[in-house]
């Protein structure tokens, strides 16, 4: 099959859960013999020319690089290119509710193409959008559920949401990560010792990996961490601990500045900006645990990746996290600084063997339910249906 991926910023994935999803899915499809075209934005890949990654074709199309027009303009030009291709596209796969607004174009003008949409998250809940943008994104949700031949939802909560809000029957296929035998040797990665440039030591820091936008809750984690440090000044295990915030601005420069101000009383909070490749893998592998205080998710790939590294994950009690994490010791109340502070303290005081067993259980969960080895065939089945 010839498959066009539209809606993502691009690949290789530098940051963003959707981009990571499309990157890994596309490479897995190419390995299975499919011809995959990934439409990308020049500002994201930092390249002007088209190129290939492991037999996946990356095609650049223009966009108006502004907060509100970047995605929709790029989706339009990508859609037009896909339906006009000389080598006819068999499947157009839209990623996200915003891009799905234009899924009607191939349905009308190229009816032989199968149109698929993945509902990754309820984007209108994200605080960075104004009223008009949230209204358009709600229309995008309806479009994602109504225009395509099939709609994929990445979590059970999104599957239920689509039924309740739009009476739409979607197909639940969760996000995934690469299986253990496809992953690099993390001991070799750690020997590269990229942690030194961030002044971090293996096993002596917590990590949050996310775009720095308000609904991801970095401000909640930073305040809880500052409170913990101030409250237990005589506890060496707390005083030697650091917090790495891995991520950067996405049209949210003021929020990022506010985070730096909030963290300014502590030298033990390190902002690394966006990281990818081996450096990102090392930040996962060297951490004591990943903390995800998000207030809105689809099915968080960063949590899955940390679990695949055999790491404990502490998560807010939103429905999407509860699909992944069952142990109440690792779950805190959403948007609750005090509860997060208490859970961090309990985690740091817990038996090291118990933390290790939690990490082992996380890896088992990922290998059983959330590897591309299991997930890619399910998506191919949707393409063929």
> Strand 114-119 to strand 313-316: parallel, antiparallel, or no bridges (unpaired)?
unpaired
* Coil vs helix vs strand at 23: helix
CATH of the domain spanning 2-176+370-384: 3.40.50.2000
pLDDT at 251: 87
pLDDT at 45: 93
For 336-382, the DSSP string reads: -HHHHHHHHHHHHHS-HHHHHHHHHHHHHHHHHHSBHHHHHHHHHHH
pLDDT at 179: 72
The alpha helices in the chain, defined as continuous H runs, are 17-31, 42-45, 70-84, 104-109, 131-146, 156-166, 186-191, 218-231, 236-239, 253-263, 277-286, 301-308, 319-322, 337-349, 352-369, 372-384
User: Which segments in the chain show pLDDT lower than 50?
Assistant: none
* Coil vs helix vs strand at 14: coil
User: pLDDT tens digits, residue range 141-197?
Assistant: 999 999 999 999 999 999 999 999 999 999 999 999 987 555 555 555 555 578 999
For 252-313, the DSSP string reads: -HHHHHHHHHHHTT-TTEEE--S--HHHHHHHHHH-SEEEE--S--SS-HHHHHHHHTT--E
* Coil vs helix vs strand at 323: coil
For residue 22, give Cα distances in angstroms to 248, 289, 324, 348.
20, 26, 21, 35
* Coil vs helix vs strand at 171: strand
pLDDT at 359: 95
Same fold, 2-176+370-384 and 180-369: yes
Residue with tokens 């805190």: 332
pLDDT at 373: 94
Long-range contacts for 161-167 (Cβ within 8 Å, ≥24 apart)?
161/122, 162/119, 165/141, 166/141, 166/142
Please identify, in words, the CATH class of the domain defined by 180-369. alpha beta
pLDDT at 189: 53
pLDDT at 134: 81
pLDDT at 140: 92
What CA–CA distance (Å, rounded) separates 85 from 342? 56
Domain extents in the chain: 2-176+370-384, 180-369
Nearest to 329 by CA among 309, 318, 345: 345
pTM here is 0.91
pLDDT at 183: 53
Residue with tokens 């995605």: 71
Residue with tokens 């990560």: 177
- Which residues are CB-contacts of 67 (< 8 A; sequence separation ≥ 6)? 128, 251
pLDDT at 185: 56
pLDDT at 123: 73
């Amino acid at each position: 099959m010839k498959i066009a991926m539209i809606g993502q910023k691009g690949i290789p994935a530098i940051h963003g859960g959707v981009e990571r999803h499309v990157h890994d899915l596309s490479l897995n499809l190419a390995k299975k013999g499919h011809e995959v075209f990934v439409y990308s934005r020049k500002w994201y890949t930092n390249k002007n020319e088209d190129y290939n990654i492991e037999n996946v074709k990356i095609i650049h199309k223009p966009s108006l690089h502004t907060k509100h027009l970047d995605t929709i303009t790029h989706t339009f030009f990508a859609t037009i290119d896909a339906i006009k291709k000389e080598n006819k596209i068999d499947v157009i796969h839209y990623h996200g509710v915003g891009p799905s607004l234009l899924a009607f174009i191939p349905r009308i003008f190229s009816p032989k193409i199968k149109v698929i949409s993945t509902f990754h998250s309820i984007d209108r809940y994200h605080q960075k959008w104004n009223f008009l943008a949230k209204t358009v994104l709600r229309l995008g949700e309806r479009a994602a559920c109504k225009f395509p031949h099939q709609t994929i939802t990445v979590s059970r909560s999104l599957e239920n949401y689509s039924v309740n809000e739009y009476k739409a029957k979607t197909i639940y296929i969760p996000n995934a990560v690469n299986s253990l035998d496809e992953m690099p040797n993390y001991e070799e990665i750690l020997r590269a010792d990229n942690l030194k440039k961030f002044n971090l030591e293996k096993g002596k820091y917590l990590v949050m990996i996310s775009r720095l936008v308000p609904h991801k809750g970095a401000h909640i984690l930073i305040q809880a961490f500052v409170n913990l440090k101030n409250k237990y000044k005589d506890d060496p295990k707390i005083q030697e601990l650091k917090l790495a915030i891995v991520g950067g601005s996405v049209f949210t420069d003021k929020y990022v500045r506010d985070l730096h101000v909030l963290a300014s009383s502590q030298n033990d909070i390190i902002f690394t900006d966006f990281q990818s490749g081996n450096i990102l893998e090392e930040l996962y592998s060297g951490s004591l645990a990943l903390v995800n205080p998000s207030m809105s998710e689809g099915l968080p790939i960063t949590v899955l990746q940390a679990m695949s590294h055999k790491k404990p994950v502490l998560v807010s009690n939103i429905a999407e996290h509860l699909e992944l994490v069952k142990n109440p010791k690792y779950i805190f109340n959403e948007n609750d600084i005090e509860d997060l502070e208490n859970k961090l303290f309990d985690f740091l005081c817990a038996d090291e063997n118990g933390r290790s067993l939690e990490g082992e259980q996380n890896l088992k969960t990922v290998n059983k339910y959330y590897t591309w080895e299991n997930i890619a065939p399910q998506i191919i089945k949707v393409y063929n249906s």
